[in-house]
Amino acid sequence: MVTENALPRGALRRAEAVLAALRARYPRPATHLVAANAWELLVATVLAAQCTDARVNTVTPELFRRWPGPTELAGATQEELEAVIRSTGFYHSKARNLLGAARRLCEVYGGEVPPRLEELITLPGVARKTANVVLFGAFGINEGLAVDTHVKRISHRLGLTAQTDPVAVERDLMRLFPRAEWGDVNHRMVWFGRDVCHARSPRCADCELAAICPRREPPRERTARTPSRAGSRAGK
Ligand code: SF4
């Protein structure tokens, strides 16, 4: 049995205000990654670990031109793929994970991206965050709430969670926001993190949430030497 962590006092009330404010600020949120289908979104999300979406968007057109789907990519070599994705950083592990994912999709799932979280997380380089991004972005499924660096930071500052582990943060946010909103909450927080609640210098004077924000800083994160198995983010 999973025991639920205590939410910060007033978190539910703040979550309602956060949802209203972010919906007003970003009526039609969307990912910054350019992807035409579930496979492309999965690849782009893996590449976006420790990299900007803009950079990923410069790399993926050539990648998808040469290898349009898992079947084609499964036949590529590590060196060929590394040469294309090099500028996204951590290209050894990203190439290894993408080739492993392509081959597993071909061997186990008929070359298709499965629309189920428990199957997605069996792919190399894919954990809950990437799986949640793909499920919502490609299939419209709200199975969980993708917690990336923006979501984690903003959730702490706004007193929505006291957790540090992304899965525990996700669990708290899933209790605070309606299920139908989970995917959009991720997108909206990513945009808000880029526009207003910056990591180093949040623009609190310009923030519509300043009156209710306790401005709690999350514990310092250790610098990762390599991207996590999840691909470490859903939006930069
Ligand atoms: S008041 Fe400042 S810390 Fe709080 S959400 Fe707004 S920008 Fe972020």
Question: What are the boundaries of each domain within the chain?
Answer: 38-139
Q: How far is the CA of 236 from the centre of ligand 1 (A)?
A: 18
What is the per-residue pLDDT for 2? 52
Q: Cα(213)–Cα(43) distance, rounded to whole angstroms?
A: 35
Pocket, ligand 1, Cβ cutoff 6 A: 157-158, 196-197, 202-204, 207, 209-210, 213, 215
* Higher-confidence position of 5 and 127: 127
Q: Residue 106, annotated ligand binder?
A: no
The model's pTM is 0.88
What is the per-residue pLDDT for 223? 47
Q: Confirm if 25 and 190 have CB atoms less than 8 A apart.
A: no
Interval 20-75: pLDDT, tens: 999 999 999 988 899 999 999 999 999 999 999 999 999 999 999 999 999 999 99
Annotated catalytic, 129? Answer: yes
Q: How far is the CA of 229 from the centre of ligand 1 (A)?
A: 30
Q: Confirm if 105 and 112 have CB atoms less than 8 A apart.
A: yes
Q: How far is the CA of 130 from the centre of ligand 1 (A)?
A: 26
pLDDT above 60: residue 130: yes
Instruction: Note the CATH number of domain 38-139.
Output: 1.10.340.30
From the list 78, 209, 224, the residue with the least C-alpha distance to 155 is: 209
The mean pLDDT of 6-18, rounded to a whole number, is 96
Ligand 1 atom index nearest CA of 203: 7
Annotated catalytic, 195? Answer: no
Cα angle 150, 156, 160 (rounded to 5 degrees) comes to 110
The angle, 0 to 180 degrees and rounded to 10, between the axes of the packed helices 166-176 and 182-195 is: 110
What letter represents residue 118's amino acid?
Answer: E
What is the band of 233 on the pLDDT scale with cuts at 50, 70, 90? very low
